[in-house]
Structure formats: structure tokens, C-alpha cells
Amino acid sequence: MTIDTLTPDSDTASASREPAPLGLLGYLRCAQGIVWREALRFIHQRERFVAALVRPLVWLFIFAAGFRAVLGLSITEPYETYILYEVYIAPGLVGMIQLFNGMQSSLAMVYDREMGNMRSLLVSPVPRWFLLSSKLVAGVAVSLAQVYVFLAIARIWEIEPPLIGYLTVLPALVLSGLMLGALGLLLSSIIRQLENFAGIMNFVIFPMFFLSSALYPLLRMKESSPLLHDLCLWNPFTHAVELIRFALYAKPNWEAASIVIACTAVFMGLAIFAYNPSKGMLARRGGPGRA
Amino acid sequence: MQPALTVEGVSHAFGKKQALDAVDLTVQQGQFCALLGPNGAGKTTLFSLVTRLYDNVSGTIRVLGYDVRRQSSQALQNLGVVFQSRTVDADLSVMQNLTYHAALHGMPAKLARDRAEAELHRIGLADRARDKIRALSGGQVRRVEIARALIHRPRLLLLDEPTVGLDIESRQEIVSHVRSLVETGGLGVLWATHLVDELDQRDNVIVLHSGKVLTQNAAGALIKQTGEADLIGAFCALTGTKPPQRAAALA
């Protein structure tokens, strides 16, 4: 195949033309493009969607059924009556979906860096903090779709929060999604190679999930080990789960919300620092694509 | 008229390894400039500094007069780049890759589609717009990357060994395509390569060796200056490569 004779349009790289400043609209188009690409990627990877749903559903259908008889739950906030174990762990499983989604985004960033795709993102004239924030928002949007499908299936399984809860949980999901996505971004700047991602499973996802209130009330944990109880309290994921738990029952939990917002700011700040060419990990390591 | 690219006194090191040492070079608008050097000379490092993937802590780099450190947004708006490694998303279609790039430059969707169609027509791939990248040949992917780099109408185009791994016909097509862009569109092009057969006597050549710019001159003038018969000979004379190694000097 031969290349057509070149007849560039009138505005091709003319020496006199200055590019217009990007402005707010340009930034929004950039963010829209990043979200759109993530959505396309998500649609192309249907198995990722299925895997993201199967994981918490296995916990709900099998694990929770088995533990229902073993674990008695007293009445604790936000619940107003005795609840089944399935009802208790549902918010934790929602958190699990977002936790895995955040780590999946991190994996995708590392993959992009190894494959070289990230270079095309980072040479955008839009500031890097905005690019990373857009990536974060895109990841949260994907996690919201996963969570609501899970909640719909869970309702069939008699996990029935008040209907208003599906609305009030939305801001909580956005906050927890941002926090876990920001953590994923930070980790993606630290992970040198794709192979190291297994370490993330062992050292981040599992400890965060099990050292939290996702599967058991913290009071129960305190009875078993005060030290583990304290560690659970230091775990940001605990507060994300409690934020979701309360919001799903249309009750605010300002303490959890504050902690989640603060952790999001810290993780995002560190991620932006790490991706800054003059300060962060990329400069020390040799840039994206050199992992 | 501002030069498309000005690099002054730029050094860069990875730990103790000095990758670039006080590099000075200029690429004018409407000029095809070859950055000639063997593997490991520092070409990719220089590109990473110009594209702001690394930070230049010494010296200055200006694109169309914009300092890439202090005015990085304006500098990157004027810059198109084709990296050595493939940077298109293989799972997306050709058109989706192009419009994604346009969005990253803040372009409206319709303008992006129009320009993408124009660029695809120009490189003879208009009929492949809906195909996924993984369905294209290596040469076609390279052309898509060049088209993508031009969508936002930059005035400086950087290409980092864009023909490596391609067959002879694809290489020739890409070289002549980029030369046409220079001649008809007024682009400034910095073409990093270690393949001298891609250059001709009129080209401005920058010889980069062990992180240092040894010379910047027209290819014909370099040959005259060194008294050699061809550009390979001139390169070997400049870099001190011994005659028995000449054939492999630039490999």
C-alpha cells in the first residue's frame, strides 16, 4: 500500500498559527476522553466485569451462608434490629468491589507504563494532576456500575436496605471509590514491574480487607485481640466500609467520611508527587515505559 | 521565526551514568533534522526530556520558544511525538485511538473526527478506521502513530527510531511521508535514527555520541568536512570508530 500524495489542509502546522489555550472546556474534553477510554476498556474486558461480580457473590452466597449459624450479631448501628450475617457483610463486599477495582486500575496503569501507552497520556498538554484525577474519576465510574449490579443481585438474596439507601449510598461510594482509586494510583507509581503485582494482593488487598470491619464487627475483633482491633481502626478501608454501611441505611457517619476524605487527599497528593517528572518516582526510575 | 526546538546546555544522568552531557541543538521550522547516533547514545533520553517525561534539571529546552519546564502546556501543544515503542492501544480501533489522543489535547469531538479522517486519508488508511490496531501491520501502526501525532497540528514532530523493525518498503514510505510533511506543511522534524540510509545529503544531521553532540551540520557538509566518501564514513571519523567496525558502527 502506498501513502497518498500529501496535500495537507490549510491549517496544517502553519508557521503563523498559535494553538488556542486549552481553557476549562479543553480540560473537560480531556477528562471525558479518559473516562470514555476506560469505559471502552471495561466493555472490551467483559470477563473483568464478571470476575468483579463473582468474587463478592461467592462471599455472599457461600461464605456468609456458612458463617450465618456461627456468628451471632448483636444490634449495632446503623441496624435497628437483629440482622443476618449476609446483611452485615454486604457493605464490606461493596467495599471489596471498590478495593479490587482500585487495584485493577493500578494494574492497568502499570501495564500501560510497560506497554508504553502511558507516554501518550503523559505528553498531553493538560497538567498531570488533572490527568491523574481524570483517571481516578474514570475508575470510580466503573466501580459504581459494578457495585449497583451487585446490590441489585443482593436484593434478590434478601439484602434489602431501604430504597432511599441506594441513593444515599452514592456519595459514600464516590468517596470510598476515590480513596481506593487514589491508593491504586499511588501503588502504580511504586510498582516497578507487572510481575510485582502479586505482592499487592498479599501485602495490600488481603490485609486491608481482613483487617477491617468488612467481615466482622470491630467489637468482636476487640474481644479476640485489642492489637488487631487497633490495627483495624488504623485501616482506611474500615472507615470506607463503615461509611458505605451507614449510607446504605440512609444514616450519616461523619467521622468515617472525614477519615476517607483525608486519606483520599493524602494518597492523591502522594500519587501526583510520584508522577511529577521533576520530583517523583518516574524521574528516579527512568520514566514511564522503563518501569 | 522561532526555531521549532532549541536545546541548550542540557545534561541528564541516571545515578552515576551520564546519559547526556551539555547538549546543544536547534531544529528550525520546516527543517528535517536527523539525530544520528548508535544505540545508547542518549537519543531516547533527549526525547524524554523534550516531551517532559523526565525533568531537565540543567539547561533549557524550548519548543516554539516555550520553555518545557515553565510553559509545559504550551510547549506540549506544539509538539507531536512518535515514540520508539508502540504507544497505541491495540484493543481500540484506529479511529478510537486518534480521537482519544485528540481528547487528551482538549479538542472538540467533531473537529477530532474530521482531522482523524483527514489524517487517515493522507496515510492511505481511511478504510481501516474501524479496524482494531492489532489487525494492522507494523508499518501501518507506525503510520497511524504519525497520524495521531499530527492531529492537534503540532509544529514540531519528534520521531524516535520510527522505522525500526519495518520492512524496506514500509521504511521508505514513512520516510517520504515525513519529508512531505516538512516540505508542504512547514513542520520541524527531529528524526532519531541509527540508519543512515534514511538520510540524504540535504538533511541537517546532529551526531550524538555517548551523550554528547559532536556536530550539527548538513549531511553533505559533514562528508566534505571529514573527507570521507559517505555519511557512514563521516560518522565513523567523527566518533572515532575504527574502520573494521564501520559496517556495524551504527547497528
- Which amino acid is residue B193, in one-letter code? T
Q: What is the pLDDT of residues A138-157, one digit of tens each?
A: 999 989 999 999 999 999 98
Closest CB to A116 among B76, B87, B106: B87
- pLDDT score at B80: 94
pLDDT category at A8 given cuts 50, 70, 90 is very low
**Inter-chain contact B104–A30, Cβ cutoff 8 Å?**
yes
Closest CB to A13 among B101, B180, B185: B185
d(CA A103, CA B186): 45
Q: What is the pLDDT of residues B9-68, one digit of tens each?
A: 999 988 888 899 999 999 999 999 999 988 888 998 999 999 988 887 789 999 999 999
- Grid cell, residue B33, equals 533534522
Distance (Å) from the alpha carbon of B239 to chain A's nearest alpha carbon:
26
From A169-173, A199-203, A262-266, B230-234, the region with the lowest mean pLDDT? A199-203
- pLDDT score at A50: 84
CB pairs under 8 A between A and B: 163
- Which amino acid is residue A36, in one-letter code? W
Distance (Å) from the alpha carbon of B47 to chain A's nearest alpha carbon:
11
ipTM over 0.90: no
Residue A42 half-sphere exposure toward CB, CA atoms < 13 A: 20
Helix ranges (DSSP H) in chain A: 23-44, 46-58, 64-68, 85-115, 117-122, 128-156, 163-190, 197-200, 206-210, 218-224, 226-234, 236-248, 254-275, 281-285
Number of neighbouring beta carbons within 10 Å of residue B244:
8
Which helix (H) or strand (E) covers residue A209, if one does?
helix A206-210
Judged against a pLDDT cut of 60, whether residue B90 lies above it is answered with yes
Q: Which residue has better confidence, A21 or B155?
A: B155
- pLDDT score at A62: 87
Closest CB to A6 among B51, B73, B122: B122
d(CA B182, CA B155): 10
Predicted TM-score of the model (pTM): 0.82
- pLDDT score at A63: 85
- Residue A243 in contact with residue A176, Cβ under 8 Å? yes
Per-residue exposure over A69-84, b if at least 16 CB sit within 10 Å of its own CB, e if not:
eeeebeeeebeeeeee
Q: Which one of B53, B143, B145, B148 makes the best mutation probe of the A interface by having the most chain A beta carbons within 10 Å?
A: B53
- pLDDT score at B23: 94
pLDDT category at B117 given cuts 50, 70, 90 is very high
From A91-100, A111-120, B187-196, the region with the lowest mean pLDDT? A111-120
Residues 191-210 of B with CB under 8 A from A: none
Q: Which residues of A are less than 8 Å from B79 in CB distance?
A: 123
Mean pLDDT of chain B: 88
d(CA A167, CA A1): 56
pLDDT category at A244 given cuts 50, 70, 90 is very high
Q: Which one of A2, A5, A6, A40 makes the best mutation probe of the B interface by having the most chain B beta carbons within 10 Å?
A: A6
Number of neighbouring beta carbons within 10 Å of residue B159:
25
Q: Which residues of A are less than 8 Å from B108 in CB distance?
A: 29
Distance (Å) from the alpha carbon of B76 to chain A's nearest alpha carbon:
5
- pLDDT score at B113: 94
